[in-house]
Amino acid sequence: MASTLRKIAMAVLAPAMAIGATVGLASAPASAAVWSSCDQYGNTNLNGYTLYNNIWGSGAGSQCIWANSGTNWGVNANHPNTGGIKSYPNSKKVINKSITSLGSLSSSYNVSVPSSGAYNTSYDIWDTDYDYEIMLWVNKTGAVGPLGTSQGNVTLGGHTWTVYKGTNGANEVFSFVRTSNSTSGTVNILPILKWIKDTKGWFGNETIGDVQFGFEITSSSGGLDFAANNLTVSSS
């Protein structure tokens, strides 16, 4: 999206920055989690995944992240009903393999998301140089939409998507928006990368760095709960 490179940089560096909004007032689940944080860029490593609270957008409210494991986590977010992405809480798996050297790259997800607010549930996939961003939206609610212009529909990786191609000024963005909302399933990611590379020629044999999965939240006024009940990323 418009500030996606900043989003990634903030999540990776997790600097001790001040924020004008009142971050840290949301509450973690009543049951004790293995880890929780209300810090703007709170992060931890669990079971081979890195979890980020990642409140990066302007005008954000409060948000807290909790995790029972690297594959079971969630947030309570209370962001105002205004435009612009406020946060992208996510879990990240590092791949660091070129597309042609990958034998497989897939992910299974099961999420619980609110029926109100404005957000998308998405994979955010980056090459190691952060020149290209591939987003896979598995569901969306409210006034949200991808960057770029529609390239039509394609069925890849076990899902049918509407594809958008654009740029945020810092990198190319390819967004695949599922044509119907889904809260659980498996995505075969490698055929999507090969389609971009071989069929469309939009990039070459890039080395895939990060596969992230999370909730890109624009508004969640009053406090809404988002949970990744189970999220796994596997590659060979």
Taking the C-alpha atoms of residue 87 and residue 69, their distance in angstroms, rounded to an integer, is 21
Half-sphere exposure (Cβ direction) of 200: Cα atoms closer than 13 Å: 16
Ranges of each domain in the chain: 4-235
pLDDT at 29: 53
Residue 111, CA distances (Å) to 103, 178, 232 in order = 27, 15, 12
According to the model, what pLDDT value does residue 147 have?
A: 94
- CATH number for the domain whose boundaries are 4-235: 2.60.120.180
State the pLDDT at residue 32.
67
Q: Give the pLDDT score at 9.
A: 44
Distance from C-alpha of 188 to C-alpha of 191, rounded to nearest angstrom: 7
Enumerate residue ranges in the chain where pLDDT < 50: 2-28, 30
User: What pLDDT is recorded for position 3?
Assistant: 45
Q: What is the pLDDT at residue 31?
A: 55
- Considering the entire predicted model, what is its pTM? 0.88
Phi, psi of 12 (to 5 degrees): -75, -45
- 196 phi, psi to nearest 5 deg: -65, -45
pLDDT of residue 222: 96
Q: 169-227 pLDDT, tens per residue? A: 999 999 999 999 999 999 999 999 999 999 999 999 999 999 999 999 999 999 999 99
